[in-house]
């Protein structure tokens, strides 16, 4: 059960002019489920992406990087079941063969296709099954295919994740719609996380590349479930230019409003991943302020958000302040003055001067730990920078899901 | 149930001339258990320690550091139940008051006493109860008190941890005996881990200080249960000089044999902590070789040993190679050539050339994942350095223990 998240209804996911999506059952690893998704982009679309920093990055990620460098992307193909990671040269050949097949079916060149895979690592990708499933996915292509695609890219997700905004900027309507997947192996620098967001605005390539990085930093790069960065993480932003708005250069009128809409969609998609974190029963925002730098704030946020001791305490609704302070102390700030650190749970000041706040009592602590959404606020008292991390708790079900995953 | 570990019998723990230990029930947090331990050292003993690097280090750790700097230590006092961490100025006052009380009872100065606390963080230390319990602990002082002390310092440990060696070096008998505690919140740079090792040899102070660091690096700094470094971690080495052997200066004859015995005891104590890791069902050695530096090897070892995904796979006896490769890829080696990485589980080569080894089959993988002790070997193929990490798996019981800890 995700924490305060439900998939939007199909009619809440606005179609994006120039984007069509189709899904099919290819039987890649399990029968009777949609496991193959095709996304078609109108000619002239611009596309940019950010990817995992894991050195064992998957074959499709390597192919995506190479194809994006050439530009003029016209199709995306996404399979679940098999991640095509840790598969060496054969994996690269399989990813390229997938692109070639899509290219043939869609009448484009192979380097105009971006491949994505998610699922079990180190198993060979069954390219023949993908080939066999592609005609059905192509036949299913439709502008309002976002809802079906959100479901078809799921792995251990318990709900499909999608978000959509339609805003008016300078009198012109702009649509931003996206889907994501991921529920475990989620961490900074992306996750076993796939995110696809499209807009009908025209966005010049250099601006799009900046936007995708900035949006990722404020969304997907703020989430962690278990501290593991996957081999396949990808976030792709597509701009078809089929709508009314155009953003040709830095400083284009309405850019800030546009960016805000993109970030809102990306944050909703990223938070949905944490809300649906494997075994999650709580959604936790860790807001760190008073840091010397943004990186320092994030380091403290992650030190708290990655601590199994903190996460099990949240699961138990236990205001175990010491574990949070211990995590802050482990964040690697060698000259941290603990006497200046302040810690709040929700609206309750729980720690200051290196110990428990004088005003704190356990009843308040128990009260603020109870809700399904909790804000942890830390003031490091050493600078003007801030950073946020979103995470979930650590429950029996996390172990169950990950111990049983392949069986 | 610890993994292949049982407390040595009392008569296997050799007394160390010049050391007496006594325990008592002080009712610090729970009634009817030994929770106060006193260790008395003969005049002329040398003592050195290594402590947590957590910035929120506990009050007793701060006092230990100050008192060790003055030297001439004569007594150690250890309480369980309350960690006296995250307690600010009051915590420091409580630790100092504890030392003063012990000093009065033992007829030494307060700065000749080292205090240690372990248990719940951010609760005030009940100094009055410690004061009240001290006479009984003092009356109980005896040379063969190691077994009782090993039990009295336990917190969530399921077994008492102790190790002892008696070796002959150049015709002189040397005894090394130690105890430790800790079962969770264990990580590099020590743990919620206390370790106390004593020898009857004379060891000059500068050599002792080097020895305690080197022994920690080969033992307590190799273990991780959950990646958290506690506020209270301490490892103290005591040399009474009451036995036959003397080590006055670097290069003293027999030093290497002596060091080997000390490291063996420290490793046994450190491994016992992992074998008794909270919820542990498996003991895992991660041996990394072919690294550019020792630190790089350890970083890879910890990336594997800290990954909840890897640890849950070990719990499930699932040879999920991809999770291990994913962890290696996350270890922060920017220029790692994954094609050169080799991975073995037990004696089975499971991965090379960036993918599954040609010779690998799942039946072999399943066979080597079954035992309660598993060796993971990684060759990074980029240098001549190596490093080891010991860890355990991640089970339902880890969550249960840590969600219930305070209730």
Per-residue pLDDT tens digits for A210-258: 999 999 988 988 887 655 556 778 999 999 999 999 999 878 899 999 9
A56-60, A379-383, B140-144 — which is least confidently predicted?
A56-60
Which positions ≥6 away from A358 have C-beta within 8 Å?
Answer: none
Are the beta carbons of A70 and A102 closer than 8 angstroms?
A: no
B86 to each of A80, A318, B159, how far by Cα in Å?
47, 17, 27
Over chain B, what HEC string results? CCCCCCCCCHHHCCCCCCEEEEEECCCCCCCCCCCEEEEEECCCCEEEEEECCCCCCCHHHHHHHHHHHHCCCCEEEEEEEECCCCCHHHHHHHHHHHHHHHHHHHCCCHHHEEEEEEEECCCCCCHHHHHHHHHHHHHCCECCCHHHHHHHCCCCCCCCEEEEEEEEECCEEEEEEEEEECCCCECCCCECCEEEEEECCEECHHHHHHHHHHHHHCCHHHEECCCCCCCCCEEEEEECCCCCCEECCCCCCCHHHHHHHHHHHHHHHHHHHHHCCCCCCCEEEEEEEEECCHHHHHHHHHHHHHCHHHHHHHHCCCCCHHHHHHHHHCCCCCCCCHHHCEEEECCEEEEECCEECCCCCHHHHHHHHCCCEEEEEEECCCCCEEEEEEEECCCHHHHHHHHHCCC
Q: What is the pLDDT of residue B407?
A: 40
Distance CA A86, CA B338 (A): 9
Q: What is the pLDDT of residue A406?
A: 46
Q: Given the structure tokens 């403290």, which residue do they identify?
A: A300
Are the beta carbons of A305 and A286 closer than 8 angstroms?
A: yes
Bridge partners (DSSP) listed for residue A387? A288
Q: What is the pLDDT of residue A226?
A: 55
Bridge partners (DSSP) listed for residue B287? B377, B388
Q: Which of B326, B325, B267, B332 is nearest to B299 (CA)?
A: B332
Cα-Cα-Cα-Cα dihedral sign, residues B278, B282, B283, B287: negative
Whether residue A89 and residue B398 make contact (CB cut-off 8 A), yes or no, is no
Q: What is the pLDDT of residue B226?
A: 54
Q: Which of B128, B126, B53, B123 is nearest to B86 (CA)?
A: B123
Mean pLDDT to the nearest integer, A96-106: 97
What count of other Cβ atoms lies within 10 Å of the Cβ of residue B44?
A: 13
Per-residue pLDDT tens digits for B372-394: 999 999 999 999 999 999 988 88
Which superfamily, per CATH, for B283-404?
A: ArgJ beta chain, C-terminal domain (3.10.20.340)
Element (H, E) at A364: helix A362-369
Which positions ≥6 away from B402 have C-beta within 8 Å?
Answer: A308, A309, A312, A313, A316, B184, B278
Per-residue pLDDT tens digits for B81-96: 999 988 889 999 999 9
Whether residue A403 and residue B313 make contact (CB cut-off 8 A), yes or no, is yes
Which positions ≥6 away from A206 have C-beta within 8 Å?
Answer: none
Distance CA B225, CA B223 (A): 7
Mean confidence (pLDDT) of chain A: 90
Bridge partners (DSSP) listed for residue A167? A174
Where does residue A245 rank: exposed (0-12), middle (13-18), buried (19+ CB within 10 A)?
buried
- For A141, the token pair is 């292509």
Are the beta carbons of A68 and A47 closer than 8 angstroms?
A: yes
Mean pLDDT to the nearest integer, B175-203: 78
A310 to each of B148, B193, B352, B395, how far by Cα in Å?
32, 18, 37, 17
What count of other Cβ atoms lies within 10 Å of the Cβ of residue A205?
A: 12
Whether residue B185 and residue A338 make contact (CB cut-off 8 A), yes or no, is no
Rounded to the nearest 10°, the torsion over CA A360, A364, A370, A372 is -70
Q: What is the pLDDT of residue A229?
A: 58
CA angle A25, A180, B332 (to 5 degrees): 115
Whether residue B227 and residue A399 make contact (CB cut-off 8 A), yes or no, is no
Are the beta carbons of B259 and B218 closer than 8 angstroms?
A: no
What size, in residues, is chain A?
407
Are the beta carbons of A111 and A54 closer than 8 angstroms?
A: no
Distance CA B279, CA B210 (A): 34
Those of residues 24-63 in A touching chain B at CB distance below 8 A are 54-57
Per-residue pLDDT tens digits for B334-363: 899 999 999 999 999 999 998 889 999 989
Residues of A in contact with B362 (CB under 8 A): none
Where does residue A123 rank: exposed (0-12), middle (13-18), buried (19+ CB within 10 A)?
buried
Q: Given the structure tokens 């001067």, which residue do they identify?
A: A353
Architecture of domain A10-275: 4-Layer Sandwich (3.60)
Q: What is the pLDDT of residue A392?
A: 87
Q: What is the pLDDT of residue B189?
A: 34
- For A270, the token pair is 């990223």
Output the pTM of the full model.
0.79
Mean pLDDT to the nearest integer, A126-145: 97
Element (H, E) at A297: helix A294-306
Q: Which of A336, A320, A364 is nearest to B121 (CA)?
A: A320
Where does residue A358 rank: exposed (0-12), middle (13-18), buried (19+ CB within 10 A)?
exposed
Whether residue B121 and residue A89 make contact (CB cut-off 8 A), yes or no, is no
Q: What is the pLDDT of residue A56?
A: 83
Mean pLDDT to the nearest integer, A149-161: 92
Nearest to A322 among B86, B315, B351 (CB): B86
Residues of A in contact with B229 (CB under 8 A): 326, 329-330
Q: How far is B308 from chain A (nearest CA, A)?
A: 7
A38-47, A130-139, A274-283 — which is least confidently predicted?
A274-283
Q: What is the pLDDT of residue A233?
A: 83
Distance CA B61, CA B57 (A): 6
Per-residue pLDDT band for A2 (boundaries 50, 70, 90) equals confident
Q: How far is B39 from chain A (nearest CA, A)?
A: 28
Q: How far is B329 from chain A (nearest CA, A)?
A: 4
Where does residue B372 rank: exposed (0-12), middle (13-18), buried (19+ CB within 10 A)?
middle
- For B156, the token pair is 């969530």
Output phi, psi for B355, to 5 deg.
Answer: -150, -165
Q: Given the structure tokens 């690893």, which residue do they identify?
A: A29
Per-residue pLDDT band for A72 (boundaries 50, 70, 90) equals very high
Helices A294-306 and A321-329: crossing angle in degrees, nearest 10, is 130
More confident site: A269 or B231: A269
Whether residue A329 and residue B87 make contact (CB cut-off 8 A), yes or no, is no
* Lateral strand order in the sheet of B46-51: B46-51, B234-239, B194-199, B172-181, B161-169
- For A242, the token pair is 């089929």
Of B37, B98, B177, B192, catalytic? B192
Distance CA B309, CA A268 (A): 25
Residues of B in contact with A308 (CB under 8 A): 226-228, 308, 394, 398, 402
Write the DSSP symbol of residue A9.
Answer: P
Distance CA B44, CA B18 (A): 10
Q: Please confirm, yes or no, whether A192 is among the known catalytic residues.
A: yes
Output phi, psi for B350, to 5 deg.
Answer: -105, -25
Helices B308-315 and A396-404: crossing angle in degrees, nearest 10, is 70
More confident site: B230 or A295: A295
Classify residue B109 as left (phi > 0), alpha (psi -120 to 50) or beta. beta
Per-residue pLDDT tens digits for A364-393: 988 998 999 999 999 999 999 999 999 888
A150-154, A193-197, A359-363, B398-402 — which is least confidently predicted?
B398-402
B356 touches chain A (CB under 8 A): yes
Q: What is the pLDDT of residue A320?
A: 78
Nearest to A86 among B334, B355, B407 (CB): B355
Per-residue pLDDT tens digits for B10-35: 999 999 999 999 999 999 999 899 99
Sequence ranges of the domains in chain B: 10-275, 283-404
Per-residue pLDDT tens digits for B22-75: 999 999 999 899 999 999 999 999 999 999 888 888 899 999 999 999 999 999
A285-294, B117-126, B144-153, B166-175 — which is least confidently predicted?
B117-126
Whether residue B323 and residue A121 make contact (CB cut-off 8 A), yes or no, is yes
């Amino acid at each position: 059960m995700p924490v305060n998240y439900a998939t939007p209804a199909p009619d809440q996911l606005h179609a994006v002019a120039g984007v069509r999506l189709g899904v099919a059952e290819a039987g890649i690893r399990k029968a009777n489920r949609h496991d193959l998704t095709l996304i078609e982009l109108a000619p002239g679309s611009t596309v940019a992406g950010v990817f995992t920093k894991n050195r064992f990055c998957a074959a499709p990620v390597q192919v995506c990087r190479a194809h994006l460098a050439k530009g003029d992307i016209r199709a995306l193909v996404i399979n679940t079941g098999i991640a095509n990671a840790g598969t060496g040269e054969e994996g690269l050949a399989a990813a390229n063969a997938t692109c070639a097949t899509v290219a043939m079916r869609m009448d484009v060149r192979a380097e105009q296709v971006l491949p994505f895979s998610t699922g079990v690592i180190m198993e060979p990708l069954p390219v023949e099954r993908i080939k066999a499933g592609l005609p059905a996915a192509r036949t299913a292509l439709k502008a309002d295919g976002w809802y079906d695609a959100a479901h078809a890219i799921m792995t251990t997700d318990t709900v499909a994740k999608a978000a959509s905004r339609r805003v008016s900027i300078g009198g012109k309507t702009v649509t931003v719609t996206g889907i994501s997947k991921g529920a475990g192996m989620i961490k900074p620098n992306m996750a076993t996380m796939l995110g696809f967001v499209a807009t009908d605005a025209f966005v010049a390539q250099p601006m799009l590349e900046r936007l995708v990085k900035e949006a990722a930093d404020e969304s997907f790069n703020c989430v962690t479930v278990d501290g593991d960065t996957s081999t396949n993480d990808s976030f792709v932003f597509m701009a078809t230019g089929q709508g009314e708005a155009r953003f040709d250069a830095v400083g284009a009128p309405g850019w800030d409003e546009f960016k805000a809409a993109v970030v809102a969609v990306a944050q909703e998609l990223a938070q949905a991943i944490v809300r649906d974190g494997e075994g999650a029963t709580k959604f936790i925002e860790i807001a760190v302020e008073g840091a010397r730098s943004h990186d320092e704030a994030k380091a403290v946020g992650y030190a708290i958000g990655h601590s199994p001791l903190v996460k099990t305490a949240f699961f138990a609704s236990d205001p175990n302040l010491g574990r949070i302070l211990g995590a802050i102390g482990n964040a690697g700030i060698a000259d941290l003055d603990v006497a200046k650190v302040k810690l709040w749970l929700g609206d309750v000041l729980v720690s200051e001067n290196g110990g428990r706040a004088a005003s704190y009592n356990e009843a308040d602590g128990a009260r603020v730990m109870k809700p399904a959404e909790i804000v942890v606020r830390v003031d490091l008292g050493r600078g003007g920078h801030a950073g946020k991390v979103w995470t979930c708790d650590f429950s029996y079900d996390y172990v169950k899901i990950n111990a049983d995953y392949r069986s």
